[in-house]
Structure formats: C-alpha cells, structure tokens
C-alpha cells in the first residue's frame, strides 16, 4: 500500500514518526513550504520536513499543493492512500481524487462537533468534559467527510491545551495505525456525520485570548486552560497607577467563595479575583519583558502599592 503523508506541525511529525517506527512505508511526505519565523524572521523548515529529511524520506514542500505542477507530482506517485494530519492548506478536489483507496484526515475532536482549525482549544474553552480523535474521509467541505474511526477521551478538570494535545496525540497514534491496518484488509466501513450536530472551532486569534472580566470566572478559567501553552490568556491591570499588560498562565477556580462585585485582592502571597459566581486564583503569570513565574514568587519580590483590574 503506497502512502503519501501530508502534515506540518509537531503533532503531525510525531504521528509520522510513529507510523515509520511501526513499519509503515511512506512513499512521499508533503508539507508546507519553509517560512520566516521569530523576531529575526529566519526562514525555517516545518517539523515534518525536518523529520523527513533527517530520515532520508522523499519530501515535497510546494508553494501551493493544489497548483498544477504539484498535482502532477502527486499523480506520478500512484498512491493508494493520502494521510492528512494538520497540513494547514486547503486540498483541492482534484487531489482528493488521486489515491486509489481514499484520502483520510486525523481530526482532534469528536466530529461532527468542533470542525475547524482549533478543536482542542475550543473544547476546553467551552468547558467540555470529553473530546476525542476522529479519522474521516476527506471531502471538499471542511471536516465533513464520513467517519471511519473515532475514540473518546475525558477532559480533566484542570487540563490545559498542551496536556490534552499530548493525550490526543497518543490516541491518534493508536487509531491511525489501526485504521491503516484496516485499509490493508479492505476498505473499512464509514458513517456519515450528523449535520444537525455540527459545531465549529475557529482559529484562535490574539483577541480571543483577551480576558473579559464581565464574563463568569469559570469561563475565564477555561480560557486560561484552553490557550496554555500558547498563545496565552492576557489582560491589563493597573499596577502602581500604571496600565500594565499581564499574561495569565495558570488559575484555580472555586465556586464556594463569592463576593458581590468582581474585585482583585492580594491575600497571603496569593492573587485572587472574586465575583458573585466564585473566586479565581492566579497561580502563574508573566509581565512584559519577564519570564513566566509562580504568582507567589512575583508577589514576594514586587513592590506593589496598588493593583486593580481594568
């Protein structure tokens, strides 16, 4: 079975590595073209490309995968299966038609819920208690193909995006490998998605990460969890009379402790935000130009005359 693997970020690279270690032969790796990154805008390769080149795999990183030259190159491979994992570019119908068996996609949600770019983050931000991994047939419409296999996992109460992503990666490894074995035996059955249950997971923008203190503190806690370790939840405080941006990395929420109005207090080297819904403790934070640190550590060294929410 000739397989072409499409992917770009670390998540994809880990999955590709697992397939290779499990004896799966990959005829070609397709990834996004090299891009400038960082403050110095140095051109860098995707994690998938770095892995492929380090292992001597044939790797293709076109400007556009759906352009004519790219399609012809993919056609020449004569693939049975295209495996797409967080590739990051829309794939044309012409490409979807190329493999003899199927073009399949690994998606980190329980489809039809959370179609789109940020399913892990959005599930946490929405306070979901479960999510999972879905492997589906790819169609032109985003994340709308028939479901081949799916596995559910619980979201722990304090779990962050980073922690849940690692958990879903391990599930994806197991599920994808089993799905490929099933394709070797014959085309596995697939179930159409229920369009009545569709929800969407839009890409996370910087403005999505800004804390709105008018919202319930439980929602703020979920936001902090959902965008940790990146891009990170942020707010502004008035510190010693000066407007100061603040990133909040880790929080703890209690429903039991309440106050009539939303207010910020410092008690015993703890930073607490209380409201009529409950209390949020800021456990880790980051000020401009500083490293991420425990709040208690910052409070011990900071000379705070006044501090308030904005």
SS3 155: coil
Q: Encoding tokens for residue 5?
A: 């693997």
Q: Which residues contact 53 (CB under 8 A, 6 or more apart)?
A: 45, 59
CA distance 249 to 227: 8
CA-based nearest residue to 103, from 122, 114, 115, 87: 87
User: In the chain, which ranges are continuous DSSP H helix?
Assistant: 10-21, 47-54, 68-77, 93-96, 119-125, 161-185, 217-226, 295-301
Q: For residue 221, what are the contacts with CB-CB under 8 A and spacing of at least 6? A: 251, 252, 253, 280
State how far the alpha carbon of 220 is from the alpha carbons of 76, 224, 291, in Å: 51, 6, 22
Tokens representing 257 are 């402790």
The verdict on whether residue 57 carries a ligand-binding annotation is no
Is 109 annotated as belonging to a binding site? yes
What CA–CA distance (Å, rounded) separates 212 from 86? 30
Of 137, 202, 134, 201, nearest to 171 by C-alpha is: 134
User: Which segments are annotated as binding site?
Assistant: 109-112
User: Which segments are annotated as binding site for (6S)-5,6,7,8-tetrahydrofolate?
Assistant: 109-112
């Amino acid at each position: 079975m000739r397989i072409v693997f499409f992917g770009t970020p670390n998540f994809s690279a880990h999955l590709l590595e697992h397939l290779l270690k499990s004896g799966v032969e990959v005829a070609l790796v397709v990834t996004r073209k090299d891009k400038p990154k960082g403050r110095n805008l140095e051109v860098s390769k995707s994690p998938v490309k770095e892995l492929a080149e380090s292992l001597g795999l044939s790797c293709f990183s076109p400007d556009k995968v759906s352009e004519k030259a790219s399609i012809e190159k993919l056609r020449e491979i004569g693939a049975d299966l295209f495996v797409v994992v967080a590739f990051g570019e829309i794939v044309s119908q012409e490409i979807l038609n190329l493999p003899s068996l199927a073009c399949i996609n690994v998606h980190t949600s329980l489809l039809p819920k959370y179609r789109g770019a940020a399913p892990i983050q959005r599930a946490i931000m929405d306070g979901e208690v479960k999510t999972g991994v879905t492997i589906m047939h790819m169609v032109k419409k985003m994340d709308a193909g028939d479901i081949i296999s799916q596995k559910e996992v619980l979201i722990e109460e304090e779990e962050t995006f980073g922690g849940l992503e690692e958990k879903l990666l391990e599930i994806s490894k197991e599920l994808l490998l089993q799905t490929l074995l099933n394709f070797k035996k014959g085309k596995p059955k697939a179930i159409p998605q229920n369009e009545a249950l569709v929800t969407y997971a839009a890409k996370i923008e910087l403005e999505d990460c800004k804390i709105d203190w008018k919202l319930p503190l439980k929602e703020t806690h979920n936001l902090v969890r959902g965008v940790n370790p990146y891009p990170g939840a942020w707010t502004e405080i008035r510190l010693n009379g000066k407007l100061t941006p603040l990133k909040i990395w880790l929080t703890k929420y209690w429903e039991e402790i309440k106050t009539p109005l939303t207010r910020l207090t410092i008690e015993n080297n703890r930073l607490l935000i209380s409201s009529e819904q409950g209390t949020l403790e800021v456990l880790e934070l980051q000020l401009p130009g500083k490293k991420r640190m425990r709040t208690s550590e910052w409070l011990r060294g900071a000379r705070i005359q006044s501090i308030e929410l904005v």
